[in-house]
């Protein structure tokens, strides 16, 4: 990408999109285009058409998506499926019609089978049943991957698809009902500490293992791949290590400084037993993550206290 190229980041206020914008600015890109949800409704095909015809971005990062944790995905599967399909369709099609030089589509590690061998290689996609609690969202992301590859085959569009692992960091959704496990735990332990509550109950057994990548690393990897990667096949982005949900809860508890007990509600679903991405393909290109989980937890909690927590 040229430093003065016009770059559109869809979803620039979100966890991933905001990190991409910060990394672009850090690396000297000066012509970044962004629109809030109020300024541009990506589910409105006509509005998206007018935006691309007017702005004519040369590069596009598609980070806009409806996302959430187990509870949100399990409760609103139709919304997750429909909204993501529509947004992807509108942006990808108009990017093609307007002749963008390159587009990066952010997928998700939930595209892989529930019981995929570990660590998960890119070629394991569509080799087994999905995790039931978020299959709607996963299928929408799989459709996005297929769409990128279809436009590449039919029209020669340089659309690449990147599959990040579980993300966390500034501008995350810290809602206990709608957020992913890490930000939701940070908020719950913080509020329990401030309220003097003697215990915090966490869903499931604590046994499942998850991989976590700080959003700043994802932003760095996304810009790196936009600059260097042109392969039609998907590529994983992760840290290459994982922790159990029980270990995560203990680390969050220590980070927050909560002194109460952790209780486990085993009547609630665990989700996928383990989800660790094989990132050897990305490592072979020369990229590695730089923020380890303890450091990332501390900085994310500090951001939450400063920007989100009730004073």
Where are any strands of DSSP class E within the chain? 7-10, 32-33, 59-62, 102-106, 159-164, 166-168, 199-203, 209-210, 212-214, 235-237, 243-244, 261-265, 274-275
Joined together, the tokens standing for residue 220 give 């760095």
What percent of the chain clears pLDDT 70, i.e. is strictly above it?
99
List pLDDT tens digits, range 73-114. Answer: 778 889 989 999 999 999 999 999 999 999 999 999 999 999
> Is residue 247 situated within a structural domain?
no
Global confidence as pTM: 0.93
> Is residue 123 situated within a structural domain?
yes
> Is residue 302 situated within a structural domain?
no
The predicted pLDDT at position 156 comes to 97
The predicted pLDDT at position 100 comes to 98
Examine the pLDDT at 259 and tell me if it is beyond 80.
yes
> Is residue 65 situated within a structural domain?
yes
Distances from the Cα of 75 to the Cα of 30, 72, 178, 207, angstroms: 41, 5, 10, 23
The predicted pLDDT at position 176 comes to 76
List pLDDT tens digits, range 130-167. Answer: 988 888 999 999 999 999 999 999 999 999 999 999 99
* 178 — pLDDT class (breaks 50, 70, 90): confident
Examine the pLDDT at 311 and tell me if it is beyond 60.
no
> Is residue 40 situated within a structural domain?
yes
Domain coverage including residue 43: 7-172+211-241+275-293
The overall average pLDDT reported for the chain is 94
Residue numbers annotated as active site? 137
Examine the pLDDT at 197 and tell me if it is beyond 60.
yes
> Is residue 29 situated within a structural domain?
yes
The predicted pLDDT at position 309 comes to 87
> Is residue 306 situated within a structural domain?
no
List pLDDT tens digits, range 277-309. Answer: 999 999 999 999 999 999 999 999 999 999 998
How many domains is the chain built from? 1
* 175/304: higher pLDDT: 304
- Domain of residue 67, CATH code: 3.40.50.720
> Is residue 42 situated within a structural domain?
yes
């Amino acid at each position: 990408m040229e430093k003065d190229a016009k770059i559109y980041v869809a979803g620039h206020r979100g966890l991933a999109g905001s990190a991409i914008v910060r990394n672009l600015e850090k690396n000297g890109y000066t012509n970044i285009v962004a629109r809030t949800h109020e300024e541009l409704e990506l589910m409105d095909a006509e509005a998206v058409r007018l935006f691309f015809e007017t702005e004519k971005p040369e590069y596009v990062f598609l980070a806009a998506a409806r996302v959430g944790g187990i509870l949100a995905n399990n409760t609103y599967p139709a919304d997750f499926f429909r909204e993501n399909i529509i947004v992807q369709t509108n942006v990808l099609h108009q990017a093609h019609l307007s002749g963008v030089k390159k587009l990066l589509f952010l997928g998700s590690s939930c595209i892989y089978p529930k019981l995929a061998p570990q660590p998960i290689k890119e070629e394991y996609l569509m080799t087994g049943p999905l995790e039931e609690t978020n299959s709607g969202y996963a299928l929408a992301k799989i459709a996005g991957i297929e769409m990128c590859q279809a436009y590449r085959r039919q029209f020669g569009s340089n659309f690449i698809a990147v599959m990040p692992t579980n993300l966390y960091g500034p501008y995350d959704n810290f809602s206990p009902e709608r957020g992913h496990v890490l930000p939701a735990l940070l908020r719950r332990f913080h509020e329990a500490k401030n309220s003097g509550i003697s215990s915090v109950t966490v869903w499931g057994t604590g046994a499942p293992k998850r991989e976590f990548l700080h959003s700043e690393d994802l932003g760095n990897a996304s810009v790196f791949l936009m600059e260097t990667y042109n392969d039609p096949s998907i590529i994983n982005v992760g840290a290459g290590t994982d922790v159990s949900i029980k270990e995560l809860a203990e680390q969050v508890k220590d980070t927050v400084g909560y002194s109460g007990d952790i209780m486990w509600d085993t009547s609630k679903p665990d989700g996928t037993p383990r989800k660790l991405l094989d990132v050897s393909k990305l490592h072979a290109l020369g990229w590695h993550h730089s923020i380890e989980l303890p450091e990332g937890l501390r900085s994310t909690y500090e951001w939450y206290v400063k920007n989100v927590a009730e004073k």
